[in-house]
Structure 1
Amino acid sequence: MHSDDVTKSAIAKYVGPSVIADLLKCPSDEGRRTNMWGSDPPYKCSYTLNCFVSGWQTGTFTVDRTASLMQLKNPSEKILIVEEDERSLNDGGFWGRGDYLAIRHDRQRVLPDTFQAANMERRGNASFCDGHAEYITRGYAHDPVTYEPGK
Protein backbone atom coordinates (compact mmCIF):
# COMPACT_ATOMS: atom_id res chain seq x y z
CA MET A 1 0.00 0.00 0.00
CA HIS A 2 1.47 3.34 -0.99
CA SER A 3 1.31 6.09 1.54
CA ASP A 4 3.28 9.24 2.20
CA ASP A 5 2.91 8.35 5.89
CA VAL A 6 6.08 6.35 6.64
CA THR A 7 4.56 4.94 9.82
CA LYS A 8 2.44 2.76 7.51
CA SER A 9 5.53 1.26 5.87
CA ALA A 10 5.84 -2.53 5.74
CA ILE A 11 8.92 -2.21 7.98
CA ALA A 12 7.41 0.27 10.50
CA LYS A 13 5.48 -2.34 12.46
CA TYR A 14 8.75 -4.06 13.35
CA VAL A 15 10.69 -1.01 14.61
CA GLY A 16 8.06 1.41 15.87
CA PRO A 17 6.79 4.75 14.58
CA SER A 18 9.09 7.06 16.55
CA VAL A 19 12.28 6.14 14.66
CA ILE A 20 10.91 4.98 11.33
CA ALA A 21 11.36 8.18 9.27
CA ASP A 22 15.11 8.43 9.95
CA LEU A 23 15.69 4.70 9.82
CA LEU A 24 14.11 4.14 6.41
CA LYS A 25 15.83 6.98 4.55
CA CYS A 26 19.39 6.59 3.32
CA PRO A 27 21.47 9.70 4.14
CA SER A 28 22.56 9.92 0.49
CA ASP A 29 19.01 9.67 -0.86
CA GLU A 30 18.33 13.15 -2.19
CA GLY A 31 14.62 12.48 -2.42
CA ARG A 32 14.38 12.96 -6.19
CA ARG A 33 11.51 10.76 -7.26
CA THR A 34 10.78 10.18 -10.93
CA ASN A 35 8.74 7.09 -10.27
CA MET A 36 7.93 4.96 -13.28
CA TRP A 37 4.72 3.80 -11.59
CA GLY A 38 3.50 7.35 -11.07
CA SER A 39 3.07 7.41 -7.28
CA ASP A 40 1.65 10.63 -6.03
CA PRO A 41 2.80 11.79 -3.58
CA PRO A 42 6.22 10.16 -3.91
CA TYR A 43 7.16 7.46 -1.40
CA LYS A 44 9.56 8.99 1.16
CA CYS A 45 11.66 6.00 2.24
CA SER A 46 14.76 4.39 0.72
CA TYR A 47 14.36 0.84 2.00
CA THR A 48 11.69 -1.74 1.22
CA LEU A 49 10.69 -5.11 2.67
CA ASN A 50 10.52 -8.33 0.64
CA CYS A 51 6.77 -8.93 0.28
CA PHE A 52 7.24 -12.61 -0.48
CA VAL A 53 8.62 -13.05 3.05
CA SER A 54 6.50 -10.52 4.96
CA GLY A 55 3.22 -10.84 3.05
CA TRP A 56 1.22 -8.02 1.50
CA GLN A 57 -2.41 -6.95 1.37
CA THR A 58 -3.98 -4.10 -0.57
CA GLY A 59 -7.51 -4.14 -1.86
CA THR A 60 -7.78 -7.21 -4.06
CA PHE A 61 -4.04 -8.02 -4.17
CA THR A 62 -2.66 -10.38 -1.52
CA VAL A 63 0.60 -12.27 -1.07
CA ASP A 64 0.56 -14.73 1.81
CA ARG A 65 3.27 -14.31 4.42
CA THR A 66 5.83 -17.02 5.00
CA ALA A 67 4.73 -18.64 8.27
CA SER A 68 8.15 -18.20 9.89
CA LEU A 69 11.73 -17.48 9.00
CA MET A 70 12.48 -21.08 9.98
CA GLN A 71 10.49 -22.24 6.96
CA LEU A 72 12.67 -20.35 4.48
CA LYS A 73 14.95 -22.33 2.22
CA ASN A 74 18.48 -20.95 2.58
CA PRO A 75 17.74 -17.86 4.75
CA SER A 76 21.30 -16.61 4.27
CA GLU A 77 20.47 -16.19 0.56
CA LYS A 78 16.98 -14.69 0.98
CA ILE A 79 16.71 -10.92 0.75
CA LEU A 80 14.66 -9.32 3.53
CA ILE A 81 15.27 -5.58 2.97
CA VAL A 82 16.76 -3.70 0.01
CA GLU A 83 17.66 -0.14 -0.74
CA GLU A 84 15.32 0.36 -3.68
CA ASP A 85 15.93 2.51 -6.76
CA GLU A 86 14.03 5.78 -6.45
CA ARG A 87 12.38 5.21 -9.83
CA SER A 88 10.62 2.01 -8.78
CA LEU A 89 10.18 3.00 -5.12
CA ASN A 90 6.46 3.41 -4.65
CA ASP A 91 5.03 1.35 -1.82
CA GLY A 92 7.50 0.02 0.75
CA GLY A 93 7.43 -3.47 -0.70
CA PHE A 94 10.18 -5.19 -2.70
CA TRP A 95 8.66 -7.39 -5.42
CA GLY A 96 11.81 -8.81 -6.98
CA ARG A 97 11.65 -8.24 -10.73
CA GLY A 98 9.17 -5.36 -10.62
CA ASP A 99 11.26 -3.23 -8.26
CA TYR A 100 14.92 -2.39 -8.69
CA LEU A 101 17.89 -2.43 -6.34
CA ALA A 102 19.37 1.07 -5.92
CA ILE A 103 22.91 1.32 -7.26
CA ARG A 104 23.64 4.89 -6.13
CA HIS A 105 26.53 3.74 -3.91
CA ASP A 106 28.37 1.80 -6.65
CA ARG A 107 31.62 3.72 -7.04
CA GLN A 108 32.50 1.62 -10.10
CA ARG A 109 29.49 2.92 -12.00
CA VAL A 110 30.75 4.97 -14.94
CA LEU A 111 27.56 5.24 -16.94
CA PRO A 112 24.46 6.94 -15.58
CA ASP A 113 21.68 4.59 -14.60
CA THR A 114 19.17 5.80 -17.16
CA PHE A 115 17.25 2.58 -17.79
CA GLN A 116 15.81 0.30 -15.13
CA ALA A 117 16.81 -3.05 -16.62
CA ALA A 118 20.33 -1.86 -17.39
CA ASN A 119 23.38 -2.18 -15.19
CA MET A 120 22.51 -5.60 -13.78
CA GLU A 121 26.14 -6.05 -12.68
CA ARG A 122 26.11 -2.84 -10.59
CA ARG A 123 25.75 -3.08 -6.82
CA GLY A 124 23.52 -1.95 -3.98
CA ASN A 125 22.71 -2.69 -0.34
CA ALA A 126 20.54 -5.53 0.96
CA SER A 127 19.98 -7.34 4.24
CA PHE A 128 19.12 -11.01 4.44
CA CYS A 129 16.78 -13.17 6.51
CA ASP A 130 19.63 -14.55 8.63
CA GLY A 131 20.56 -11.01 9.75
CA HIS A 132 23.63 -10.26 7.62
CA ALA A 133 23.92 -7.50 5.00
CA GLU A 134 25.75 -7.48 1.68
CA TYR A 135 26.63 -5.23 -1.22
CA ILE A 136 24.99 -7.26 -4.02
CA THR A 137 24.53 -6.93 -7.76
CA ARG A 138 21.23 -5.84 -9.19
CA GLY A 139 21.16 -9.11 -11.14
CA TYR A 140 21.45 -11.10 -7.90
CA ALA A 141 18.63 -9.10 -6.29
CA HIS A 142 16.31 -9.93 -9.18
CA ASP A 143 16.89 -13.67 -9.21
CA PRO A 144 13.75 -15.39 -7.79
CA VAL A 145 15.99 -17.70 -5.73
CA THR A 146 17.00 -14.68 -3.63
CA TYR A 147 13.53 -13.30 -2.89
CA GLU A 148 11.01 -16.16 -3.12
CA PRO A 149 10.87 -18.10 0.21
CA GLY A 150 10.43 -21.60 -1.22
CA LYS A 151 13.17 -21.50 -3.85
Structure 2
Amino acid sequence: MTDLDFYARAVVDGTVMGLGQDSLPEDWEDRLGVNYVDDVRKGLMRRDFGLVEVSFQRVRGIWRCFGVGIQVHRLDRGVEAVVPAPVRAEFGEFGSPVGFAGVDAAVARMGGRLESANDGGSTYHDQFLSASTNARVHVVAQVDDPGVGGTSVGDVWSIHLSWRKNQDS
Protein backbone atom coordinates (compact mmCIF):
# COMPACT_ATOMS: atom_id res chain seq x y z
CA MET A 1 0.00 0.00 0.00
CA THR A 2 1.02 3.62 -0.43
CA ASP A 3 0.57 6.95 1.28
CA LEU A 4 -2.14 7.79 -1.28
CA ASP A 5 -3.97 4.63 -0.19
CA PHE A 6 -3.83 5.88 3.42
CA TYR A 7 -5.51 9.17 2.48
CA ALA A 8 -8.00 7.57 0.09
CA ARG A 9 -9.04 4.92 2.61
CA ALA A 10 -9.77 7.66 5.15
CA VAL A 11 -11.97 9.45 2.61
CA VAL A 12 -13.75 6.36 1.25
CA ASP A 13 -14.15 4.38 4.50
CA GLY A 14 -14.38 7.29 6.93
CA THR A 15 -11.75 5.64 9.14
CA VAL A 16 -8.05 5.87 9.89
CA MET A 17 -6.27 2.55 10.43
CA GLY A 18 -9.72 1.00 10.91
CA LEU A 19 -10.75 3.43 13.66
CA GLY A 20 -13.46 6.04 13.50
CA GLN A 21 -16.58 7.27 15.19
CA ASP A 22 -16.96 6.41 18.89
CA SER A 23 -13.54 4.73 19.13
CA LEU A 24 -11.76 5.17 22.45
CA PRO A 25 -8.40 6.83 23.20
CA GLU A 26 -6.87 3.45 24.08
CA ASP A 27 -7.92 2.12 20.65
CA TRP A 28 -5.87 4.87 19.01
CA GLU A 29 -2.91 4.25 21.30
CA ASP A 30 -3.04 0.53 20.45
CA ARG A 31 -3.14 1.30 16.72
CA LEU A 32 -0.84 4.35 16.41
CA GLY A 33 1.48 4.02 19.40
CA VAL A 34 2.32 6.08 22.45
CA ASN A 35 3.99 9.08 20.80
CA TYR A 36 1.26 11.69 21.17
CA VAL A 37 0.31 14.82 23.07
CA ASP A 38 -3.11 15.27 24.71
CA ASP A 39 -4.84 18.64 24.97
CA VAL A 40 -7.86 18.43 27.29
CA ARG A 41 -10.33 21.28 27.74
CA LYS A 42 -13.96 21.46 28.88
CA GLY A 43 -15.08 17.94 28.05
CA LEU A 44 -13.06 17.77 24.83
CA MET A 45 -9.71 16.14 24.17
CA ARG A 46 -7.43 16.38 21.16
CA ARG A 47 -4.83 13.64 20.84
CA ASP A 48 -2.05 14.73 18.48
CA PHE A 49 0.00 11.94 16.87
CA GLY A 50 1.65 14.35 14.38
CA LEU A 51 0.11 13.51 11.01
CA VAL A 52 -3.09 12.34 12.71
CA GLU A 53 -5.07 14.38 15.25
CA VAL A 54 -8.00 12.68 16.96
CA SER A 55 -10.80 14.61 18.70
CA PHE A 56 -12.77 13.11 21.58
CA GLN A 57 -15.80 14.26 23.52
CA ARG A 58 -16.53 13.03 27.02
CA VAL A 59 -19.95 11.36 26.87
CA ARG A 60 -21.36 9.91 30.08
CA GLY A 61 -17.84 9.74 31.50
CA ILE A 62 -16.29 8.00 28.49
CA TRP A 63 -14.06 9.66 25.88
CA ARG A 64 -15.47 8.94 22.40
CA CYS A 65 -13.98 9.93 19.04
CA PHE A 66 -16.00 12.47 17.09
CA GLY A 67 -13.43 13.59 14.54
CA VAL A 68 -10.07 12.94 12.95
CA GLY A 69 -7.79 15.37 11.16
CA ILE A 70 -5.00 14.19 8.89
CA GLN A 71 -2.60 17.15 8.89
CA VAL A 72 -0.89 16.49 5.55
CA HIS A 73 0.87 19.87 5.57
CA ARG A 74 2.96 18.71 8.54
CA LEU A 75 4.88 16.27 6.33
CA ASP A 76 7.29 19.07 5.45
CA ARG A 77 8.63 18.70 9.03
CA GLY A 78 9.94 15.26 8.14
CA VAL A 79 8.10 12.00 7.72
CA GLU A 80 9.67 10.21 10.69
CA ALA A 81 8.84 13.17 12.92
CA VAL A 82 5.11 13.19 12.11
CA VAL A 83 3.98 9.85 10.66
CA PRO A 84 3.40 7.24 13.38
CA ALA A 85 5.58 4.16 12.90
CA PRO A 86 2.58 1.78 12.59
CA VAL A 87 1.21 3.91 9.73
CA ARG A 88 4.59 3.83 7.94
CA ALA A 89 4.78 0.07 8.50
CA GLU A 90 1.41 -0.49 6.82
CA PHE A 91 1.53 2.15 4.06
CA GLY A 92 5.23 2.57 3.36
CA GLU A 93 6.98 5.81 2.52
CA PHE A 94 5.10 9.10 2.73
CA GLY A 95 5.90 11.83 0.24
CA SER A 96 5.59 15.57 0.60
CA PRO A 97 3.97 17.58 -0.78
CA VAL A 98 0.83 15.58 -1.61
CA GLY A 99 -1.03 16.71 -4.72
CA PHE A 100 -4.82 16.65 -4.75
CA ALA A 101 -4.89 14.99 -8.18
CA GLY A 102 -3.16 11.90 -6.76
CA VAL A 103 -5.50 11.67 -3.77
CA ASP A 104 -8.56 12.22 -5.98
CA ALA A 105 -7.43 9.44 -8.35
CA ALA A 106 -6.78 7.05 -5.42
CA VAL A 107 -10.23 7.81 -4.01
CA ALA A 108 -11.79 7.04 -7.41
CA ARG A 109 -9.85 3.74 -7.65
CA MET A 110 -11.38 2.74 -4.31
CA GLY A 111 -14.87 3.54 -5.58
CA GLY A 112 -15.23 6.93 -3.89
CA ARG A 113 -15.93 10.36 -5.25
CA LEU A 114 -14.91 13.86 -4.17
CA GLU A 115 -16.98 16.87 -5.16
CA SER A 116 -16.22 20.56 -4.80
CA ALA A 117 -17.72 21.88 -1.56
CA ASN A 118 -16.41 25.43 -1.37
CA ASP A 119 -18.47 27.53 1.00
CA GLY A 120 -16.74 30.84 0.37
CA GLY A 121 -15.19 30.75 3.83
CA SER A 122 -11.59 30.73 2.66
CA THR A 123 -9.64 32.05 -0.28
CA TYR A 124 -6.61 30.03 0.81
CA HIS A 125 -8.19 26.55 0.64
CA ASP A 126 -10.65 24.76 -1.61
CA GLN A 127 -12.78 22.03 -0.05
CA PHE A 128 -13.79 18.72 -1.56
CA LEU A 129 -16.40 16.47 0.06
CA SER A 130 -17.10 12.76 0.01
CA ALA A 131 -20.88 12.68 0.38
CA SER A 132 -20.82 9.04 1.51
CA THR A 133 -18.54 9.61 4.52
CA ASN A 134 -18.67 13.40 5.02
CA ALA A 135 -14.86 13.46 4.71
CA ARG A 136 -13.52 16.86 3.68
CA VAL A 137 -10.27 17.38 1.81
CA HIS A 138 -8.77 20.87 2.11
CA VAL A 139 -6.56 21.84 -0.83
CA VAL A 140 -4.24 24.84 -1.08
CA ALA A 141 -5.86 27.38 -3.41
CA GLN A 142 -3.67 30.41 -2.77
CA VAL A 143 -0.14 30.90 -1.49
CA ASP A 144 0.93 34.40 -0.48
CA ASP A 145 4.61 33.54 -0.36
CA PRO A 146 5.38 30.76 -2.88
CA GLY A 147 8.05 28.36 -1.68
CA VAL A 148 7.50 29.18 1.99
CA GLY A 149 6.00 26.41 4.09
CA GLY A 150 6.55 23.66 1.54
CA THR A 151 3.11 23.73 -0.09
CA SER A 152 1.90 24.93 -3.46
CA VAL A 153 -1.47 25.53 -5.07
CA GLY A 154 -3.11 22.14 -5.61
CA ASP A 155 -1.46 20.42 -2.64
CA VAL A 156 -3.58 18.73 0.02
CA TRP A 157 -3.45 20.69 3.28
CA SER A 158 -5.57 18.36 5.42
CA ILE A 159 -8.33 15.77 5.46
CA HIS A 160 -11.07 15.86 8.09
CA LEU A 161 -13.55 13.24 9.25
CA SER A 162 -16.27 14.43 11.62
CA TRP A 163 -19.14 12.81 13.48
CA ARG A 164 -19.78 15.46 16.17
CA LYS A 165 -22.54 14.68 18.61
CA ASN A 166 -24.40 17.13 20.78
CA GLN A 167 -24.58 15.19 24.02
CA ASP A 168 -24.09 16.06 27.63
CA SER A 169 -20.56 15.61 28.86
Tell me the TM-score normalized by structure 1: 0.28
Higher helix share: 2
TM-score (norm 2): 0.26
The structure with the largest alpha-carbon Rg is 2
